[in-house]
Homo-oligomer: A and B are copies of this chain.
Amino acid sequence: MEGESEIEKGKYAADISSIKEAHDRIKPFILKTPVMSSTSLNALSGRHLYFKCECFQKGGAFKFRGACNAVFSLDDEDASKGVVTHSSGNHAAALALAAKLRGIAAYIVIPKNAPTCKVENVKRYGGQVVWSEASVQSREEIANKVWQETGAIFVHPYNDGRILSGQGTISLELLEQVPQIDTLVVPISGGGLISGIALAAKSINPAIRIFAAEPKGADDAAQSKVAGRIITMAKTNTIADGLRAFLGDFTWPVVRDLVEEVITVEDSEIIKAMKLCFEILKVVVEPSGAIGLAAVLSDTFQKNLAWKDCKHIGIVVSGGNVDLGILWNSLNK
């Protein structure tokens, strides 16, 4: 294949082949999520918007794709020991569900400040909850302890080729569902979602433009793009509980090379976008899931002349796991 963005095989932690293999592997388990549109939101944004609704995915978020790929990639001996991870929520539920489908144990390290609905999802799918403090350090220590005790295979929420390949299956579906898409807007946190999506999409259509959407209160990816290296932050502050992680060494090279720009938005813009999803699309999205729409509606995006020809925009609605109380309180701030 020729094109401005031809991707060398082996350059990144996943490629179009590993993503297609992942698709074959997980197809029997995942939902091919619908794409939704709204003339009202098209009018509001001045573009054609196509919402890829991963909030309807099993487990309520895209995370099930990667987790499923990781779990079903294991050989029987490894699988028999179970899997372990630490996660603020959606990856946790996803891994528990994937493990349940394979009939193996899932040990899930969850920080005490995770939203109730996400913890309940883990329990619903039979995952064994192990509590940690909120800090990344505490999560990693506890996960390590579980590994020592059980031999369970660690499945990182994003910094793992199997995860990237699983998340990349979104592009395979979306670009088949809406071939005219010229632009993708994807939430960014650890970078697993956008890396998989970018690797697949750029391989299918090298001219496609990939934008990341990130909260201003956790703008480590935006800072990293400017600095040319991974930047982490001592503290994050955003309503988007799914977007507080930092890039890893498997995701950063993809974000560095294939993502055109990281668009940062205020929490107030995220909340406005959640409300639009609720009132106009009739779809329940969590804050992280609404950030793509927030980015497209932002002045940063709307006023940039270089992006005027982004006409058919695929927006990845990453998840729908939101506590009703949190939704209501944030909408009334």
Least CB distance from A98 to B in Å reads: 14
**Is A320 an interface position by the 8 A CB rule?**
yes
Residues of B near A324 (CB, < 8 A) are 275, 278-279, 328, 331
Residues of B near A285 (CB, < 8 A) are 282
Contact present for B282 and A56 (CB under 8 Å) = yes
Q: Given that A36-B56, A328-B328 are known contacts, is A320 also in contact with B284, CB under 8 Å in the complex?
A: no
Contact present for A278 and B282 (CB under 8 Å) = no
Within 8 A of B (CB), among A293-333: 320, 324, 328, 331
State which size class the interface on A falls in. 20 to 34
**Is A215 an interface position by the 8 A CB rule?**
no
Contact present for B282 and A55 (CB under 8 Å) = yes
Q: Count the copies.
A: 2
Q: Find the B residue at minimum CB distance from A280.
A: B60
25 interchain pairs (CB within 8 A)?
A34-B34, A36-B56, A39-B58, A40-B124, A53-B282, A55-B282, A56-B281, A56-B282, A60-B282, A117-B279, A275-B324, A278-B284, A278-B324, A279-B284, A279-B324, A282-B283, A282-B284, A282-B285, A282-B320, A283-B283, A283-B284, A284-B284, A324-B328, A324-B331, A328-B328
* A interface with B by C-beta (< 8 Å): 34, 36, 39-40, 53, 55-56, 58, 60, 117, 124, 275, 278-279, 281-285, 320, 324, 328, 331
Residues of B near A53 (CB, < 8 A) are 282
Residues of B near A34 (CB, < 8 A) are 34
Beyond the given A282-B284, A282-B285, A324-B331, could you list 9 further A-B residue pairs with CB under 8 A, ordered by the A residue number?
A36-B56, A39-B58, A53-B282, A275-B324, A278-B324, A279-B324, A282-B320, A283-B283, A324-B328
Residues of B near A40 (CB, < 8 A) are 124
Least CB distance from A259 to B in Å reads: 27
CA distance A279 to B58 in the complex (A): 12
Residues of B near A328 (CB, < 8 A) are 324, 328
Q: Find the B residue at minimum CB distance from A97.
A: B39
Least CB distance from A213 to B in Å reads: 20
CA distance A283 to B320 in the complex (A): 9
CA distance A324 to B320 in the complex (A): 16
CA distance A27 to B278 in the complex (A): 26
Least CB distance from A97 to B in Å reads: 10
